[in-house]
Amino acid sequence: QVQLVESGGGLVQPGGSLRLSCAASGSIFSIDDMGWYRQAPGKERELVAGITNGGRTNYADSVKGRFTISRDNAKNTVYLQMNSLKPEDTAVYYCNADLTMVGWNKKPYWGQGTQVTVSS
Protein backbone atom coordinates (compact mmCIF):
# COMPACT_ATOMS: atom_id res chain seq x y z
CA GLN A 1 0.00 0.00 0.00
CA VAL A 2 1.26 3.46 -0.97
CA GLN A 3 -0.07 6.86 0.04
CA LEU A 4 0.72 10.35 -1.24
CA VAL A 5 -0.34 12.95 1.29
CA GLU A 6 -0.39 16.61 0.32
CA SER A 7 -0.39 19.63 2.60
CA GLY A 8 0.04 23.38 2.43
CA GLY A 9 -2.94 24.56 0.44
CA GLY A 10 -5.20 27.39 1.51
CA LEU A 11 -6.46 30.89 0.82
CA VAL A 12 -3.96 33.59 -0.13
CA GLN A 13 -4.19 37.10 -1.55
CA PRO A 14 -2.93 37.89 -5.04
CA GLY A 15 0.83 38.35 -4.96
CA GLY A 16 1.19 36.05 -1.98
CA SER A 17 3.02 32.76 -1.56
CA LEU A 18 2.25 29.19 -0.56
CA ARG A 19 4.36 26.07 -0.26
CA LEU A 20 2.84 22.69 -1.01
CA SER A 21 4.32 19.43 0.23
CA CYS A 22 3.61 15.85 -0.77
CA ALA A 23 5.03 12.89 1.11
CA ALA A 24 4.93 9.36 -0.23
CA SER A 25 4.80 6.50 2.25
CA GLY A 26 4.34 2.75 2.24
CA SER A 27 6.15 -0.20 0.69
CA ILE A 28 8.15 1.89 -1.78
CA PHE A 29 11.05 0.39 -3.68
CA SER A 30 11.89 3.45 -5.79
CA ILE A 31 10.46 6.74 -7.04
CA ASP A 32 11.19 8.15 -10.48
CA ASP A 33 9.47 11.29 -11.71
CA MET A 34 7.35 13.38 -9.35
CA GLY A 35 5.15 16.30 -10.19
CA TRP A 36 2.33 18.65 -9.43
CA TYR A 37 -0.84 18.97 -11.47
CA ARG A 38 -3.83 21.23 -11.00
CA GLN A 39 -7.45 21.27 -12.01
CA ALA A 40 -9.62 24.37 -11.98
CA PRO A 41 -13.43 24.17 -12.10
CA GLY A 42 -14.62 23.32 -15.60
CA LYS A 43 -11.09 22.71 -16.87
CA GLU A 44 -8.96 19.66 -17.51
CA ARG A 45 -6.16 18.63 -15.18
CA GLU A 46 -2.86 20.14 -16.32
CA LEU A 47 0.79 19.65 -15.46
CA VAL A 48 2.20 22.48 -13.37
CA ALA A 49 5.74 21.25 -12.73
CA GLY A 50 7.71 18.02 -12.81
CA ILE A 51 11.03 16.82 -11.43
CA THR A 52 13.08 13.70 -12.13
CA ASN A 53 14.85 11.77 -9.39
CA GLY A 54 18.04 13.40 -10.65
CA GLY A 55 16.61 16.87 -10.11
CA ARG A 56 15.83 17.92 -13.68
CA THR A 57 12.74 20.14 -13.73
CA ASN A 58 10.12 21.33 -16.17
CA TYR A 59 7.33 23.88 -15.78
CA ALA A 60 4.15 24.99 -17.47
CA ASP A 61 4.69 28.30 -19.24
CA SER A 62 2.07 29.93 -17.04
CA VAL A 63 4.10 29.37 -13.86
CA LYS A 64 7.69 29.76 -15.06
CA GLY A 65 9.58 32.24 -12.92
CA ARG A 66 6.96 32.10 -10.15
CA PHE A 67 6.85 28.45 -9.04
CA THR A 68 9.72 26.21 -8.00
CA ILE A 69 9.54 22.43 -7.66
CA SER A 70 12.01 20.52 -5.50
CA ARG A 71 12.29 17.15 -3.82
CA ASP A 72 13.95 15.41 -0.91
CA ASN A 73 14.66 11.86 -2.02
CA ALA A 74 15.57 10.75 1.51
CA LYS A 75 12.09 11.76 2.67
CA ASN A 76 10.20 10.69 -0.50
CA THR A 77 8.80 14.20 -0.55
CA VAL A 78 8.19 16.73 -3.32
CA TYR A 79 7.55 20.44 -2.78
CA LEU A 80 6.06 23.26 -4.79
CA GLN A 81 6.98 26.80 -3.79
CA MET A 82 4.45 29.17 -5.32
CA ASN A 83 5.22 32.89 -5.38
CA SER A 84 3.47 35.88 -6.95
CA LEU A 85 0.22 33.96 -6.96
CA LYS A 86 -2.57 35.07 -9.28
CA PRO A 87 -6.32 34.43 -9.17
CA GLU A 88 -5.93 32.18 -12.20
CA ASP A 89 -3.73 29.86 -10.10
CA THR A 90 -6.84 28.92 -8.12
CA ALA A 91 -7.35 25.17 -8.45
CA VAL A 92 -7.09 21.83 -6.70
CA TYR A 93 -3.44 20.81 -6.80
CA TYR A 94 -2.55 17.13 -7.06
CA CYS A 95 0.74 15.42 -6.38
CA ASN A 96 1.85 12.66 -8.73
CA ALA A 97 4.66 10.13 -8.44
CA ASP A 98 5.84 7.37 -10.77
CA LEU A 99 6.93 4.81 -8.25
CA THR A 100 7.62 1.15 -7.82
CA MET A 101 6.21 -0.72 -4.86
CA VAL A 102 8.20 -3.60 -3.45
CA GLY A 103 7.35 -6.61 -5.63
CA TRP A 104 5.33 -4.62 -8.18
CA ASN A 105 5.89 -2.81 -11.48
CA LYS A 106 6.22 0.95 -11.72
CA LYS A 107 2.98 2.92 -12.05
CA PRO A 108 1.68 6.43 -11.31
CA TYR A 109 0.17 7.30 -7.96
CA TRP A 110 -1.87 10.38 -7.05
CA GLY A 111 -2.50 12.35 -3.92
CA GLN A 112 -5.98 13.34 -2.79
CA GLY A 113 -5.56 16.98 -3.81
CA THR A 114 -5.26 20.22 -1.91
CA GLN A 115 -7.23 23.39 -2.63
CA VAL A 116 -5.38 26.60 -3.47
CA THR A 117 -7.51 29.74 -3.66
CA VAL A 118 -6.05 33.08 -4.67
CA SER A 119 -8.46 35.89 -3.91
CA SER A 120 -8.62 39.28 -2.27
Residues 6+ apart with CB under 8 A from 42: none
Residues 78-118 have pLDDT tens digits of 999 999 999 999 999 999 999 999 888 999 999 999 999 99
| The predicted structure's pLDDT at residue 65 | 98
Which residues, listed in sequence order, are joined to residue 115 by a DSSP beta bridge? 92
Dist. CA 92–CA 79, nearest whole Å: 15
Distances in Å between the alpha carbon of 84 and those of 18, 95, 116, 120?
A: 9, 21, 13, 13
| The predicted structure's pLDDT at residue 1 | 86
Distances in Å between the alpha carbon of 9 and those of 66, 70, 82, 104, 106?
A: 16, 17, 10, 32, 28
The mean per-residue pLDDT over the stretch 69-81 comes to 97
| The predicted structure's pLDDT at residue 6 | 95
Residues 6+ apart with CB under 8 A from 71: 34, 51, 53, 55, 77, 78, 79
Residues 6-64 have pLDDT tens digits of 999 999 999 999 999 999 999 999 999 999 999 999 999 999 999 999 999 999 999 99
